[in-house]
């Protein structure tokens, strides 16, 4: 369980997970999410819309039961009409947590983007409901979403395609399966397009628990790469053709490990007495 305290009446946590979260052994990420949602007393809503596999929702019912969650309801929204159905939206009313599964993030944006359901999730998070997403779900939960891109270590013009996401925060751009799939180049490219946002490269079986104070804590078995271009001195992004490497001078790179805390507003590590 993250050491960040939850203050009543504040925004819920935003939790991007890098994908392939441990579901069989210690399950640190999922246990932390379930604990935050109240354990056996908290209802969790699973949204498997990103996946084309029919059993994704059922598998997460079993996974959450094994980490001692409360009731789990699956909302397998497949059309925009369903996403605007008041009866579907009403099912979230008593939720303590909302969980977006992996799959294809463009299914999330094209089916849920701009719908009453998406608005209801934002309102739920604002009143204290915790929202997590794994893999494609992790990319979707911020305002600026990596829709697709090529792998590699060097940023290149046109290497990544961005699309609007759910919009729970505009402070980060999330990339998932990060070190496992060599995605530092595409995250740097995304940040070159918009240096305001902070890039979070989240490894598999790892999560950033972003609190209402915009301090994140790392939980899981891997690390998080933070790309901060706030003090970017120069960039050649506007001068190069698609496929050409991009010069970026003055980028800060931080590598966070489980237990590390990072302030997204002050853009610095948060030290504790034990670290």
What positions carry a catalytic annotation?
135, 177, 204
Q: What is the DSSP letter of 55?
A: T
**What is the length of the chain?**
275
Q: Which residues of 220-254 are buried (b: 16+ CB within 10 A; e: fewer)?
A: bbbbbbbbbbeeeeebebeeeeeeeebebeebeee
Distances (CA, A) of 214 to 16, 55, 198: 13, 34, 12
Backbone angles phi, psi at 172, to 5 degrees: -135, 155
Indicate left, alpha or beta for 55 from its phi (over 0: left) and psi (-120 to 50: alpha).
Answer: alpha
Question: Cα dist. 223→17, 74, 130 in Å?
Answer: 11, 30, 22
Alpha carbon distance 147, 189 (integer Å)? 13
Instruction: Determine the Cα angle at 32 with ends 29 and 37, to 5°.
Output: 130
């Amino acid at each position: 369980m993250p050491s960040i305290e939850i203050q009543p009446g504040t925004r819920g946590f935003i939790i991007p997970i890098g994908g392939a979260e441990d579901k069989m052994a210690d399950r640190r990420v999922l246990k932390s999410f379930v604990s935050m949602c109240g354990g056996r007393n908290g209802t969790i809503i699973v949204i498997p819309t990103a996946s084309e596999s029919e059993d994704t929702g059922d598998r997460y019912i079993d996974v959450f039961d094994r980490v001692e969650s409360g009731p789990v309801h699956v909302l397998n929204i497949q059309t925009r009409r369903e996403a605007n159905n008041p009866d579907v939206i009403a099912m979230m009313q008593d939720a303590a947590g909302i969980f977006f599964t992996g799959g294809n993030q463009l299914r999330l944006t094209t089916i849920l983007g701009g719908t009453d359901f998406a608005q209801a999730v934002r309102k739920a998070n604002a009143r204290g409901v915790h929202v997590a997403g794994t893999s494609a779900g992790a990319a979707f939960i911020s305002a600026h979403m990596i829709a697709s891109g090529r792998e590699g270590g060097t940023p290149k013009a046109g290497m990544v395609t961005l699309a609007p996401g759910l919009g729970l925060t505009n402070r980060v751009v999330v990339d998932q399966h990060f070190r496992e799939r060599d995605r530092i180049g595409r995250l740097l490219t995304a940040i070159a397009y918009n240096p305001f946002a902070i890039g979070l490269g989240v490894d598999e079986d790892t999560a950033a628990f972003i609190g209402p104070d915009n301090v994140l804590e790392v939980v899981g078995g891997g690390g998080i790469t933070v790309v901060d271009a706030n003090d970017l001195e120069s960039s050649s992004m506007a001068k190069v053709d698609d496929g050409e490497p991009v010069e970026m001078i003055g980028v800060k790179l931080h590598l966070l490990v489980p237990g590390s805390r990072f302030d997204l507003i002050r853009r610095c590590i948060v030290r504790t007495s034990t670290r």
